[in-house]
């Protein structure tokens, strides 16, 4: 027959370990805060979009598993807390598991609150203000792509009329150039958010007297909404 005392001697340690493991979200937050405060270094600049969907799913699954672990530790710890052997470990495990569970719940609440606060009303449909901001941002990014550090660097002999003749459509010279790498992997940067046609040209190039590249929106709907600052 199994030795009940051996089983009960292992349970307090398991509950304590479960409670300690459940504290990882707090440690994670503290590490991220410390890196934000004292983690020096230059940020990497890139025009490529970032795919974060997979990371969000992994985080949610990890938090759900941690919450289940914490709740289990609390439930089994309360049942075992009356037993004299290992009572201190059980109490410590229950306390740490309860703290961990509270931290997970708070993280989930904050995540839901942020998604509600910054979520776009009406699904993916942008408001006029959001379309203006997005179009202005597109113009700035296109100007950077055509500037001396990108297109100008790869094509040192480019004249102003050459820039003006480039195909700035979402399938044009910046996305699928005849030679060299693409200057963006996000074709939506070249599409005015007020435009219904995803394949036409929505932006034009202007060159200032000082030789600076400027980009403006030429889509009729974008012009009506005041996309050009």
* pLDDT tens profile 81-124: 776 678 888 889 899 999 999 989 988 888 788 777 665 444 45
Q: Percent of the chain scored above 90 by pLDDT?
A: 34
Q: Which residues of 76-105 are buried (b: 16+ CB within 10 A; e: fewer)?
A: bbeebeeeeebeebbbbbbebbbebbebbe
Query: Model pTM greater than 0.75?
Result: no
Q: Average pLDDT of the chain?
A: 83
Q: 224 phi and psi, to 5 degrees?
A: -60, -35
**Residue 49 pLDDT more than 60?**
no
Give the mean pLDDT of 153-159: 87
Helix H segments across the chain? 4-21, 24-38, 53-80, 87-118, 128-145, 151-154, 160-164, 220-224
Q: At residue 227, does pLDDT exceed 90?
A: yes
């Amino acid at each position: 027959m199994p030795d009940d005392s051996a089983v009960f001697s292992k349970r307090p340690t398991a509950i304590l370990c479960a409670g300690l493991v459940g504290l990882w979200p707090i440690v994670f937050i503290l590490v991220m805060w410390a890196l934000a405060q004292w983690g020096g270094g230059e940020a990497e600049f890139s025009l490529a979009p970032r795919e974060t969907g997979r990371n969000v799913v992994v985080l949610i699954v990890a938090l759900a598993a941690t919450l289940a672990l914490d709740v289990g530790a609390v439930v089994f710890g309360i049942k075992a807390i009356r037993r004299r052997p290992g009572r201190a470990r059980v109490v410590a495990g229950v306390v740490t598991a309860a703290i961990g569970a509270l931290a997970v719940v708070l993280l989930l609440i904050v995540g839901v609150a942020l998604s509600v606060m910054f979520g776009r009303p009406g699904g993916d449909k942008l408001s006029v203000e959001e379309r203006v901001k997005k179009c202005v941002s597109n113009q700035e990014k296109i100007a950077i792509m055509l500037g001396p550090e990108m297109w100008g660097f790869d094509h040192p002999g480019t004249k102003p009329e050459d820039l003006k003749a480039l195909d700035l459509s979402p399938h044009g010279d910046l996305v699928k150039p005849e030679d060299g790498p693409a200057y963006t992997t996000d074709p939506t940067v070249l599409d005015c958010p007020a435009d219904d046609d995803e394949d036409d040209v929505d932006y034009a190039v202007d060159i200032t007297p000082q030789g600076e590249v400027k980009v403006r929106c030429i889509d009729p709907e974008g012009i009506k909404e005041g996309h050009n600052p």
